[in-house]
Amino acid sequence: MNDLITIITLPVIIGLLLFFVPEKLRTIKGIVALIVSIITIWLTIVIYQSDQQTVNPDSITTGSGFVAAVLSFLQSAGRYIIFNNDSLSKLIMLFISLFAFLVLIYSIIYVKEGSVKNYYPYFLITLGCSYGAVLSDNLLLFLFFWGILGIGLYKLIYGHDEKSSAAAKKTLIMIGASDSIMIIGIAIIWKITG
């Protein structure tokens, strides 16, 4: 499979699978998340060294029946699902990978104390959506990943008391307001360009 698709789907799929691991095994979840982070660092370096490329579902070929069924569904929406890695997105991906790795190293020690439930699954989903937002070559696809990213960031804020829960809600409201302004901007661009 293409590296651009893999770097987005790998953290999201592993994050979804980690929801099924009991919270008692938080350290194992953290180690799995750290391994996924190391793999995404390696994929980022591979993508960084490659030429600029554009990927859509039409350009992906595979032999698996399940993946072929998903791709046949995606090919109908193929004009909206386009990923592109240019020089700026490569640089941003390097920083995302580096900071994700550093945050996970810190989190393995900090999250042991039992602060955020399902921290690592939400972190990996947020990581995958960050890559998706950076690599999106379509404003609708970007908006999709950005929305999931905002929800993931909200779920990462620990609300152990009234004050921190209020801070999390205020953060979500600010993210929602900025997203609304961004949607208005996208609508204006669509109106101008058709």
What distance in Å separates the CA atoms of residue 151 and residue 153, rounded to the nearest whole number? 5
What tens-digit pLDDT sequence spans the chain (194 residues)?
488 888 888 999 999 999 998 888 888 888 999 999 999 999 999 988 887 777 765 555 554 444 555 556 556 656 677 888 888 889 999 999 999 999 999 888 876 665 678 889 999 999 999 999 999 888 888 888 888 888 888 887 776 667 777 877 888 888 888 888 988 988 898 889 87
Residue 175 lies in a domain: no
Continuous segment of H or E residues that includes residue 181 = helix 162-193
Residue 51 lies in a domain: yes
* pLDDT at residue 1 in the model: 46
**Adjacent-strand bridge partners of 85:** 53
User: Residue 83: which domain range?
Assistant: 3-138
Residue 23 lies in a domain: yes
Task: Report the number of distinct structural domains present in the chain.
Answer: 1
What distance in Å separates the CA atoms of residue 115 and residue 103, rounded to the nearest whole number? 15
Residue 59 lies in a domain: yes
Residue 124 lies in a domain: yes
* pLDDT at residue 42 in the model: 94
Residues 6+ apart with CB under 8 A from 150: 172, 175, 176, 179
* pLDDT at residue 111 in the model: 67
* pLDDT at residue 162 in the model: 73
